[in-house]
Structure formats: C-alpha cells, structure tokens
Structure 1
C-alpha cells in the first residue's frame, strides 16, 4: 500500500493515477473540500483528514508500505511544509514503513532566509536523512504544471510576465516525469537513501519560456519584465499594511531572484538511475495545451 499526501495536487494526483494504472493499492490523503472523486473512481482509497492532526496521520499510515509526501504548504510553511512532514516521518517509522519519498525543492540547502518554504524543506530533508528510514529525496528545479495557467493566459493574450533577471537559468521538469520518478524511487535500489536534483533535459533562460510558448501556440509573445527592485518596492509597500502578505511573498522573491537548474551530469544520472528520458518543456506544453 502506498500513502500519497497532497493526493489532489498537481504532483500527487499524477502519482495516484499512475499507481492505479498499475492496479497498485494506494491511499490518497485528502481534505474534505478537495476534488477527489476522480481518484476514488480510479480505485484509490480516499483518506479524508488533516495533515496537522496527529490522530489522522496515525490512521493514514496504518498498513502502509511506502509513503510519498507530495503536499504543498497551502500558505502555511510552518504547519504543513515542516511540522506535518516531521510528524509523518515519525509515524512512518513507528508503523514500519519501508521507504519514504519526500518531494522537496532544488536549492533547499542554500539557506534562503526569505523563504519559509525553502527553510522548512531543508529541515525536513535533514530530519528524514537521520530518521533511520529508507528514503529518497527529490528536489525539482521547477514544475511544468505550475506554468500551465501562465501558458493558458499566453495562448489567449500573448502576454508573459517575468519578474527579475530574464537571463536567470532554470530546468523545468515535466510533472508527469516527476510523478513516475517518485513511484520508481521505492523500486530502484540505486535510489535508496539518496537525494536527486530533478529537472528537465534542457537548461533554459527564463526569457526563452515565452519563445517556447510562441512556438506551441503560433503567436508572437508580449513579454513584460518587472525588475526585482520594482517587485521589492511593491512588496515593501504591501508590508506596511499587511506584514503577513509580505512574508508570504518571500518564496516568490526567492524564486525570482535566483537560478534553479540541474546540470547535465545531474540529468544524466537521473535518466540512468530511473531509466527515463526526461521530457522537454515544449513537449509538455504541446501535450497539454497544443492544438
């Protein structure tokens, strides 16, 4: 039995689908207000609960062989990115789970003080590594499905917004590839007790993304570049009236100000370990939104 947290999210939903395509038993941890009917129809066991409630974690882990932590912060890094994962690791160990897969973020180890999410992910990585559980940590550099709303807007308007240096590099991973790797991590011996940066097959400058969308949708891009100092000024202004919103923008600021990409050697190791050919961003967008 697999337990997948964040089962209705972009990553978790794909993980559950793939497992059910293989007719593997899987328990999806969901909230009552989430859209989980599709997963139930596919034969997944639905567990409705709160990741912040210990009694729910205890019940969710019963009879589970593998845990894949794929949930996001929901705007609360302390409670969900950090504490929920720490408690989930403790329950997994207490109940004899054989392998724990944690989907982290590339750059978690860099010490970005402005991003609670990055700090939480790093602390969970360290806790898992010292837990005694078999583990695999996946560090995606950027997730393609997160760009789908921007791509849809581009399709309709040609508009694309870049905050910060447009020449900053990234390597965006197909969400479907990430889901497959998360599952195979419990099956591949070479993935045991290892951390893998996970990215797409190409290193892209951020200014190249609207060019890719231009080819997918056959329309000219209207790219607007907001310098980082403008973003910082606006963020500081918001902070005068709403300090919590200013804090919540820390992760966006971190992502906008820095480069997140995998090296060629890292991608080669990923493809070799998991016997996969990583999908390009253009291919992903064409599959989902191309005509």
Structure 2
C-alpha cells in the first residue's frame, strides 16, 4: 500500500494515476473539499483528513508500506511544510514503513532566510535523514505543469509576463517524469537513502520560455519584463495589512530572484540511476496543449 499526500495536487494526482496504472494499491490523502472523484474512479482508496491533525496522520499511515509526500503548504509553511511532515515521519516509523519519499525543493540547502518553505523543507530533510527510515529525497526545480496556464494565455494573447532577471537559469522538470521518479524510488537500489536534484534535460534562461512558446504556437512573443522592485513594493504594502501573507511571499520572491537549475552531471546521474530519458519542456507543452489533455 502506497500513501500519497497531496493526492489531488498536480504531482500527487499524477503519482496516483501511474500507481493505479501499474495495479498498485494506493491510499490518497485528500481534503473533504478537494476534487478527488477521478482518483476514486481509478481505484484509489480515499482517505479524507487534515494534515494539521496528528490523529488523521496516524490513522492514514496504518497498514502502509510506502509513503510519498507530495503536498504543498498553501502559505502554511509551519503547519504543513514542517510539522505535518515531521508527524508523517514519526507515523512511518511507528508503522514500519519500508520507504519514505520526500519531495523537497532545489536550492533548499542554500540558506534562504526569507523563504519559509525552503527553511521548513530543509529541517524536514535533516529530520528524515536522522530518522532511521529508508528514504529518498527529491529536490525538483520548477514543475512543467505550472507553465501550462501561462502557455495557454500566451497562445490566446501572445503576451508573456516575466518578473525579475530574464537571464536567470532554470531546469523545468516534466511533472510526469517527477511522478515516475518518485514511484521508482521505492524499488531502485541506487535511490535508497539518497538525495537527488531533479530537473529537465535542458538549462533554460527565463527569457527562453516565451520564445519556446512562440515556436510552439507560431507567433512572436510580447515579453513584459517587470523588475523585482515592483514585487517588493507590493510586499511592503501587503505587510501593513497582512504580515503573515507578506512573510509567505518571501518564498515566491526567492524563487523569482535566484537561479534553480541542475548541472549536466546531476541530470546524467538521475537518468542513469532511474534508467529514464527526461522529457524536454517543449515536448511536455506540446503533449498537453497539442490535443486531448488530462487535468493539469
């Protein structure tokens, strides 16, 4: 039995789909108000709970052999990115879980003090490593599915809003590939007790992305480049009204202000360990927006 947290999110949904296609039993941890009918239709066991409640985590982990943590925080880094994951690790230990796969974030070890999500994930990584559990930690760069709404808007308008330095580099990972890697981590011997940077096969500057959209949709991009100072001004204004939301925007600013890409050697290691050929961003966009598509 696999327990998947964040099962209705973009990554979790893909993990559940792929596991069910392989005939694996899956317990999908979902919130009552989330859209989980597709997962139920695929044969997943639906567990309705709240990751902020220890008793829900303890119950969800009963009878589970593998846990894949794929949930986000919804601006609640302390409760969901930190505390819920610590409780999941403790419940995994109590239930004899064979392997714990943790989705972290690329750059988590750089000490970004203004990014609550990064800080929480780094502390969880350290806790997991010291837990005695078999683990795999995956540190992905940007998810390709997050660019699908931007690509659709570009297709309709030709406009692309770029905030920050257009020369900053990134390795956008196919969200489908990340799901495959997360699942394979429980059985690939080379993934046991390891940390992997996970990105796409190309290093792309941020200004390359609208040009790629232009190639796919055969139109010249109109790039609107907004400096980070605009976001900083917005954060300052929000801080007067909602200090907590202001702090949560620190993670967003960190993502915009810095480079997050995998080196060629990191990608080569990933492809070798998992025996996978990573999908390019162009292929991902064409596959989803070039015809019939599943939920992003």
What TM-score bracket applies, with the shorter chain setting the length? over 0.9
Determine the C-alpha separation between the residues in 1 that align with 2:290 and 2:154: 12
Whether 1:242 and 2:254 are equivalent positions in the alignment is no
Tell me the equivalent position of 2:9.
Answer: 9
Aligned residues: 291
Q: Which digits, 9 at most, give the CA deviation of each residue in 1:213-271, with x for residues without a partner?
A: 11111122111111122221222122223322221211110001100000000000000
Superposed CA deviations along residues 31-63 of structure 1, whole A, max 9, x for unmatched, are: 010110011011000000001111111111111
3-state DSSP of counterpart to 1:63: coil
Work out whether 1:190 is the aligned partner of 2:209. no
Question: Are 2:113 and 1:113 equivalent residues in the alignment?
Answer: yes
Aligned to 2:294: none
Q: Secondary structure at the match of 1:162?
A: strand
Measured in 2, the distance between the counterparts of 1:161 and 1:243 equals 26
User: Who is 2:80 aligned against?
Assistant: 80
Q: Return the offset for 1:200.
A: 0.1
Greater Cα shift, 157-166 or 28-37: 157-166
Aligned match of 1:279? 279
Deviates more, 1:244-253 or 1:19-28: 244-253
Unaligned residue ranges in structure 2 (runs of 5+): 292-296
SS at match of 2:172: coil
Equivalent position of 2:136 in the other structure = 136
Are 2:171 and 1:171 aligned? yes
Note the aligned Cα RMSD (angstroms): 0.9
Indicate conservation of the 8 Å contact 1:174/1:280, yes or no: yes
Q: Which residue of 1 aligns with 2:122?
A: 122
Is the contact between residue 75 and residue 245 of structure 2 (CA under 8 Å) also seen in structure 1? Answer: no
Aligned partners of 1:217 and 1:290 also within 8 Å: no
Number of the residue aligned with 2:289:
289
1:101·1:137 contact (CA, 8 Å) conserved in 2? Answer: yes
CA distance in 2, matches of 1:238, 1:4: 34
Q: Distance in 2 between matches of 1:6 and 1:240?
A: 32
Determine whether 1:147 maps to 2:156: no
Cross-structure match for 1:30: 30
Determine the structure 2 residue equivalent to 1:199.
199
- Give CA deviations for 1:199-223 in whole Å, capped at 9, x if unaligned: 0000000000001111111122111
Does residue 59 in structure 1 map to residue 71 in structure 2?
no
Equivalent pair of 2:148/2:285 in contact (CA under 8 Å)? yes
- Give the equivalent residue in structure 1 for 2:94: 94
1:106–1:260: 8 Å Cα contact kept in structure 2? yes
Q: Which segments of 5 or more consecutive residues in structure 1 lack a partner in the other structure?
A: none
Q: Give the distance between the partners of 1:230 and 1:50, measured in 2 at CA.
A: 36
Alpha-carbon distance in 1 for matches of 2:225, 2:249: 18
Structure 1: how far apart are the matches of 2:244 and 2:4? 30
Paired position in structure 1 for 2:221: 221
1:86 and 1:124 in contact (8 A); partners too: yes
Q: Which stretch shifts more, 157-166 or 241-250?
A: 241-250
